[in-house]
Amino acid sequence: MSEVSYKPVLVEPRTLADLFLMVQADVRWAATEDARDVSVTHIAPLDLARENAFAFLSNPKFREQLLRCQARVIALTATDFEWLQSQNIDTTRSTFAICAQPYALFAMVAQRLYSPAAPEKTSIHASAVIAPTAQIGKNVCIGAQVTVDEYAQIGDNVTLAAGVVVGRHVKIGANSHVYPNVALYHDCEIGARCIIHSGAVIGSDGFGFAPTPKGWHKIPQVGRVLVGDDVEIGANTTIDRGALTDTVIHNGVKIDNLVHIAHNCVIGARTAIAGCAAMAGSTEIGESCMIGGGALLGGHLRIADNTIVSGGTAIISDIKTAGQYTGIYPASTHREWERNAPLMRHLADLRKRIRGLQKNADTNQQGKD
């Protein structure tokens, strides 16, 4: 296999003062010059970082990479910086941002370096179709083939990329960015500073059917989807509108690609949901939870705040106590799996037989006594 190629994505030089890093009270700077004047043009992994890069170390097992790193700025913990100083190497080549959470600082720098600039003036493509009753804010960018339906409200500094469909009475908060071919169904609301990636569908009907002897009878879905501020929704994710009440995504939630959230679910603030996870209707996930990729959550569940659900885990009952929950059977060779699978099916019978044997043994022991 050939070596991994690396080509950094460069932007115009930005000083640390420009990136507002100097106002971070929990960061201590180690530099041979005024850190405010130090500039960076890109972010990079520690082992590939070169001049003018911003890199970070959050896992001590990669400390050795510090010895060869040529990044202009390196974020690391105080413990890792002390270790580096003990190696008797020249540390003047870089500026060090010493903090408790280097990864979080790196994320902030990356966001400020690469976030798309807000439109400087309103720009509406000639092929866009905008209803006369729609309200368009200041400095809005509307791309080709966008449709904005009646009574929609688009906030200031919003970008609607090509092919976006905004339904009737939809509201989109200021500084949000909607990527190509997103569908926002009628009456849904999107908060400020949201990012919605291509192909996402917000507000479609969920599985709302009543069984009858002649088949399935469709139930109109009359709720909405309410998305809070600072939410990111990944590509091809679907969030179903509520059946009677609303589906609610609270502030700061981060949703990966290909996630399905069914009708009337409530996702607590700052929760993160990884790709291909799915949840049935009316499930409520608490605040600051992490749902792993491919996790499956049944309907009408309640998940406690600060819960972690491992990837591929199926949850079919409430989680009342915070912690990490895993329900994945470890992988094995196919032959071993064929031997073990029948045993798994008969565990209940084996338990019943063992309890019977134990009961008989206890009875016999009492007879001897």
Active site amino acids? 263
Can you give the length of the chain in residues?
A: 369
Q: Are residues 190 and 208 in contact, defined by beta-carbon separation less than 8 angstroms?
A: no
Euclidean distance between CA atoms 136 and 155, whole angstroms = 7
In a 10 Å sphere around its CB, with 0-12 CB exposed, 13-18 middle and 19+ buried, how is residue 176 labelled? buried
Q: How many helices, marked H, and strands, marked E, lie in the chain? A: 4, 39
The token pair at 275 is 């790709």
Q: Which long-range contacts (CB under 8 A, 24 or more apart) does 325-333 make?
A: none
Euclidean distance between CA atoms 16 and 66, whole angstroms = 21
Euclidean distance between CA atoms 226 and 168, whole angstroms = 15
Radius of gyration of the chain (CA): 27
The token pair at 314 is 């199926």
**Three-class SS state of 104:** helix
Amino acid at 49: A
**Three-class SS state of 119:** coil
The token pair at 137 is 């804010």
Q: Which residues contact 364 (CB under 8 A, 6 or more apart)?
A: none
Listed residue (304, 300, 306) closest to 262, CA to CA: 300
**Three-class SS state of 14:** strand
Q: Are residues 305 and 288 in contact, defined by beta-carbon separation less than 8 angstroms?
A: yes
The token pair at 176 is 């949000």
DSSP letter (8 states) at residue 268 = -
